[in-house]
Structure 1
């Protein structure tokens, strides 16, 4: 997954989007998910960090299976 910036020019926010079947080109990323589904995903502010307890909700939003790493590692993090 990756984060993409959505929203109005003065009210940006970040949402996670799965990259399976995504197409990348110069200056764009086209994902295999409907715009409304992406827009309704749990969002982050531009300077926020996704709390560990909210990770599963992102996966469930896209009907994906969530599983922590073998040592309990997070699957998502904003770097």
Structure 2
């Protein structure tokens, strides 16, 4: 995995799937509140006049000269639950995002949110 500081340098670059198909543009990073590791990224998808942000897991992602390659395919990412443009993922929506990618969701030991925008 890469450091959160490193991945922030890639904001605005393309996010591509394992086959190199462009999914969208990297917007923000979400950290796991238990580990402070970058866990998800928001990706802006759609046209400039009609776009939305979705989250994609960063596990297994690779960084190239002008892109971040994630392990999930474009169709799955584009069908992920969306968040308001420029907004933050509500804690109540976290389980849906994890479920979309077949990932286990566990709240913090005190019931706190799992993801925090970095």
**Under a length normalisation based on structure 1, what TM-score does the superposition of the two structures give?**
0.87
Q: Give, in whole Å, the separation in 1 of the partners of 2:116 and 2:50.
A: 22
Q: Is 1:66 paired with 2:105?
A: yes
Q: Is 1:7 paired with 2:52?
A: no
Gaps of 5+ in 1: none
Q: Which has the higher strand share?
A: 2
- The number of equivalent residue pairs is 79
Q: Which one of the candidate residues 14, 26, 35 is aligned to 2:65?
A: 26
Q: Deviations over 1:6-59 (max 9, x none)?
A: 111222211111111111123211100010000000001212222211110000
**Under a length normalisation based on structure 2, what TM-score does the superposition of the two structures give?**
0.61
Gaps of 5+ in 2: 1-39
